[in-house]
Chain A
Amino acid sequence: MSSTNAKHPELSTIFNKDEARVDWHDETLWWIRQKRDKAAWTIPEWEQLRETASAIKDNVLSNLHDYLLEFEKNATANGIVVHWAADGKEHNEIIHSILQENKVSQIVKSKSMLTEECGLNEYLAKNNIDVVDTDLGERIVQLANEHPSHIVLPCIHWKKEEIGELFHKHLNTPKGNADPQFLTNAARIHLREKFLTRRIAITGVNFAVAETGEFVVCTNEGNADMGAHLADVHIACMGIEKIIPQRKHLGVFLRLLARSATGQPITTYSSHFKKPNAHQKVHIVLVDNGRTVQLGRASFRNSLKCIRCAACFNTCPVYRRSGGHSYHTAIAGPIGAILAPNLDMKKYADLPFASTLCGSCSNVCPVKIDIHNQLYQWRQVITEEGYSPKTKTMAMKVMAATLSKPGLFNFAGKAGRWVVKYLPFLVNNRLNPWYKQRDLPAAPKQSFTEWYKKNRK
């Protein structure tokens, strides 16, 4: 995330400077998208499964009040301490107060996009708490003083040689060694020491079951379990929309999650935390941070169905070619572009425009969120509220005026073709952003209207 006010177009320009890296980024993510397809095709009822998941989430959003109360009641009966946080600030304060109560200043944390959204690491750093992210990709970006660029693959923008260099600097690995197996083992040794010595572990939550008061955390690395089972205190952080009604519904979501995310049939670990063990305390923090507002926006409510698989990232032609950091928000990609404006419409006014509206995101979404439709609708809202990018608004006004007057339209077409033919530098110059990474096609001899008049018999 950039601390400046740079928007998606400027930030993409930075990413686009290295064309070879853009191609590599694009191809890597497309390969993951293809793995997702292969995994989905092994399940004949895949579409029915998506429909079912979407319908379960419809029910959840329409009955969230009662499900949260049911979850609170059952989790409390299981011995879990339930906290409620209205926003990111309160979430961070609750966690800090638990650390203070336990006199702990060093913790481990497994992947939780919610804590990224709330800026927990920065908050705790200011309060002299040492947080170690234990997901390998997250640890890499943390050592580099960056944020994840992807919610499932946090360092997808990093090359192995750069990671080798980073580990040489921070973990004393031999200079020039960029072997993934070797580097992963170095991180394993480095992080085992943290797991064994830290007394408090934070994890995210993938699903929380109202009926039983249990919550499920999914990882491939096993870092959530290593942290949680070795700590005296386990703090789990979840957005209020992560509730599902009954245990049996986990079957639907666990079938969809990993297949959509990476093309795996299931994550290596799907851990069901129901009761703390005898020597342990478990806290869960339920966070709103704008979710109740989004729940009230009928056009955008469906975005709360998201299970954070990132299939929409991997398929998005804009994300693949502009990189996660160009979205300047914790959750990038198409889903991030419909979640972020709810939090701050002015700051994230650029994001719904960072899309071709091709609809590929909606086609792969395991819970059938109409992502591209919501991107389109956010554009309307943002423009009405006066937050749309100025150059775009101006261009749109000129275009609307031209299209509404046939005489002007014909003249503009003719003039355009003449300019492109004889004075291309007038449009093909550095002042016109359309020409970045694009070439102009040859101008046709005549317009369709001219051709039609001539050929109409």
Chain B
Amino acid sequence: MNSREKILSAIKTNQPQLQQLPALEQLAAVRYEDKLQQFIAVLKTIGGTVIEISNTNEIIEYVKYTFNDHQNYVTTLPQLEGINQLDENLDPHILENIEVAIVNALFGVAENGSVWLTDDEMKIRALPFICQHLVVLLDKKSVVNNMHEAYNLIGNNTYEFGVFIAGPSKTADIEQSLVLGAHGPKTMTVFLCN
């Protein structure tokens, strides 16, 4: 018997009588009076920056004013004219030099300040992790209350890679002192649009 068969047969012998799965619909999950304000408040407490805009040109103005090294900005958003479009065939290692990456997110989650994005939004999976500063465009109306609503929205989506990102990368491994910018982005800015 190989290990696979050994493990499976031991489980079959040892697993208890079948217990039913609980129905998640029974969970009275938290909802917020103003889920957008809740999202903004939580994202700020976990180190994110939130800016409301009326048109996407404001993103370009903001990042050029805020960050250095203009040559190394990259985006996956076609509407951002004047910012380099990410070539999805690039070797991800080259992204090491990216200062600012600007991507779209599919929705936000009010209870934890996270945003959800998949390969379609990043084009190259390493992008939102390797850049020095992450900028995300999010539709205000897309914010859901909680993670249950989030997974209802994701449903059977056939993404190949997906991630919830909640603020800049961080660590508190040295005496519990919070430091932003562990291995990933040092800042995360979310632009809320209509």
Write the residues of chain A forming the contact surface with B, with a CB cutoff of 8 angstroms: 28, 31-32, 42-45, 48-49, 51-52, 55-56, 58-59, 61-65, 68-69, 84-86, 90, 134-137, 140, 153-156, 158-160, 163, 180-181, 183-185, 188, 191-192, 195-196, 220-223, 225-226, 229-230, 240, 245, 247-252, 254-255, 262, 264-275, 277, 286, 288, 292-293, 295-296, 298, 301
Please determine whether A250 and B151 come into contact, CB atoms closer than 8 angstroms: yes
Q: Is B193 an interface residue, CB under 8 A from the partner? A: no
Say yes or no: B15 contacts A63, CB within 8 Å.
Answer: yes
Task: Give the docked Cα–Cα distance between A409 and B113 (Å).
Answer: 62
Q: Is the CB of A226 within 8 A of B183?
A: yes
A43 to chain B, nearest CB (A): 6
Q: Are B165 and A269 in contact (CB under 8 A)?
A: yes
Residue with the highest number of chain A CB atoms closer than 10 Å, among B26, B112, B114, B150? B112
Which of A84, A248, A251, A252 contacts B7, CB < 8 Å? Answer: A84
Q: Give per-residue flags for B160-194: 1 if the beta carbon is below 8 A from chain A beta carbons, else 0.
A: 11111111111111111101011111000000000
| SS of A interface (majority) | helix
Known: A137-B171, A188-B181, A268-B46. 17 other contacts (CB 8 A): A42-B30, A44-B30, A56-B22, A59-B19, A59-B22, A86-B6, A160-B174, A191-B183, A221-B183, A240-B7, A248-B148, A272-B163, A273-B161, A288-B3, A292-B7, A292-B14, A295-B14
Judge whether A245 and B14 touch: CB under 8 Å: no
Closest A residue by C-beta to B165: A269
Specify which chain B residues have a CB less than 8 angstroms from the CB of A293 in the assembled complex. 10, 14
Q: Once the chains bind, are A251 and B167 in contact (CB under 8 Å)?
A: no
Question: Given that A65-B11, A68-B11, A90-B3 are contacting pairs, would A230 and B165 also be in contact in the complex, using a CB cutoff of 8 Å?
Answer: no
Residues of A within 8 A of B19 (CB): 55, 58-59, 61-63
With A56-B22, A240-B7, A254-B147 as known contacts, state yes or no: A270 contacts B164, CB within 8 Å: yes
| 7 contacts across the A-B interface (CB closer than 8 A) | A58-B19, A221-B170, A264-B166, A265-B42, A271-B161, A271-B162, A288-B6
Task: Report Cα–Cα, A156/B113, bound state, in Å.
Answer: 27
Is B27 touching A220 in the complex (CB atoms < 8 A)?
Answer: no
What A residues does B24 contact at CB under 8 A? 52, 248-249, 251-252
Stretch touching chain A among B50-58, B64-72, B123-131: B123-131
Q: Kindly state the separation between the CA atoms of A264 and B181 in the bound complex, as whole angstroms.
A: 16
5 pairs of A and B residues whose beta carbons are closest in the complex: A222-B184, A296-B14, A221-B182, A265-B112, A137-B173
- Nearest chain B residue, comparing its CB with the CB of A270: B164
**Contact in complex: B181, A184 (CB < 8 Å):** yes
Residues of B within 8 A of A86 (CB): 3, 6-7
Which B residues between 108 and 162 are near A, CB-CB below 8 angstroms? 109, 111-114, 119, 124-126, 129-130, 146-148, 150-152, 154, 159-162
Residues of A within 8 A of B20 (CB): 59
Residue of B nearest to A53 (CB): B22
B interface bracket (residues with beta carbon within 8 Å of A) = 35 or more
Task: Indicate whether B60 reaches chain A with its CB closer than 8 angstroms.
Answer: no
Closest CB in chain B relative to A161 CB, distance in Å: 9
In the complex, how many angstroms separate the beta carbon of A82 from the nearest chain B beta carbon?
Answer: 9
Q: Knowing A225-B126, A251-B24 are in contact, say whether A295-B111 is a contact too (CB < 8 A).
A: no
List residues 22-64 of chain B with CB under 8 A from any CB of chain A.
22, 24, 26-30, 42, 46
Most A-side CB within 10 Å, residue of B15, B17, B181 = B15
Q: Provided the pairs A271-B161, A277-B160, A292-B11 are in contact, do residues A136 and B173 lie with their beta carbons within 8 angstroms?
A: yes
Give the docked Cα–Cα distance between A278 and B190 (Å): 30
A64 partner, pick from B15, B92, B148, beta carbons under 8 A: B15
Partner of A31 from the list B151, B176, B177 (CB cut-off 8 Å) is B176
A180-B174 contact in complex given A196-B93, A265-B46, A266-B166, C-beta closer than 8 Å: yes
CB atoms of B183 and A275 under 8 A apart? no
